Structures are given as structure tokens and as C-alpha cells.
Amino acid sequence: MDTLSVAVLLFALATAALWRALIHLKSRAQRFEESKKAAWVSLQCGSADLPSWIQNEERLSAFLFGAQRLALRKGVPHRKILETLATEHVFGQLIRFAGALEHRKATFAEQQLAVAETVAERFNYEERMRVASKIFFSGCSTDQKERQEI
């Protein structure tokens, strides 16, 4: 075999391997999204359990550190992450969400990622509502001043 034939063969094998890896990653991402949806349903129905690692202080600390780091990467300010995790109801909901994901065979890292995404979604929602309320209520203060003048 000459050099060109070997190069073409290697290119074909590399392309096939990349194509297969891409299919695997898409499938895994789809399963992860489906697991998150099912975990939220379990949580809403009240059937989500705590994760197996919840009483292991070292594992819990590692979980929270990883989730915080991922949320920071998603643009959530550290102060907002701490506020979210300090809210007892939200903290319990996030931990039960991780437990529901664990029940669906999600890895520890996937549980951290899902919790971080949830924190980021919550932050983004609050920011959108804050901006929308500023816009909405900015017109109200002008109306009130005009009414007072009349």
C-alpha cells in the first residue's frame, strides 16, 4: 500500500469513529435530558428520595463545591448561588432532584451538572423578571406623577 492509500484509509476510519462518537454523545445527552424531566416529575409528585451520598459529609461537600463551580461557569454570581443554597426549601428541592436523578442511574457528575443548570435557570428567570418589572413599573411612576399634577 502506498502512502496515499494509508492516509485515505486512516481518514475513513477516523471519520467513522468520530461519527460513532457523535451518535453516542447525542444519545447520552438525550437520555440525560429525559432523566432530568422524569426526575422533576418525581419531585413534583413528592416521590423523589434523597441521594445515597447525603449523609456522607465529604461527598456532600464535594457535590456542593462541584455544583457551585459549574453554576459559576454558567454565569451565576457566587452571591446568588450561596443565596439559593441557603434557602432551605430550594436546597431540599435541589438535593431531592439529585436523588431522583441518582435513582435514574445518573452519575454523580451528572447530578452536579443538573443542579448547577437548575440554579442557573432560576437565576436567569429572576433576572428576566427583575428587568421586566422595572420596565413595567417605570411607566406606573410616570402615570402617578401626572395624576398628582392634575
64 near 116, Cβ under 8 Å? no
Burial of 92 (0-12, 13-18, 19+ CB in 10 A): exposed
Dump pLDDT digits (tens) for 4-57: 888 888 888 899 888 898 888 888 888 888 889 999 888 888 877 899 999 999
Q: Is the dihedral of CA 45, 119, 81, 128 positive or negative?
A: negative
**What is the grid cell recorded at 6?**
494509508
With CA atoms as reference, report the closest residue to 109 among 67, 145, 142: 67
| pLDDT reported for residue 25 | 85
Least confident of 1-5, 40-44, 71-75: 1-5
- Please state, in angstroms and rounded to a whole number, the distance separating the CA atoms of residues 41 and 35: 10
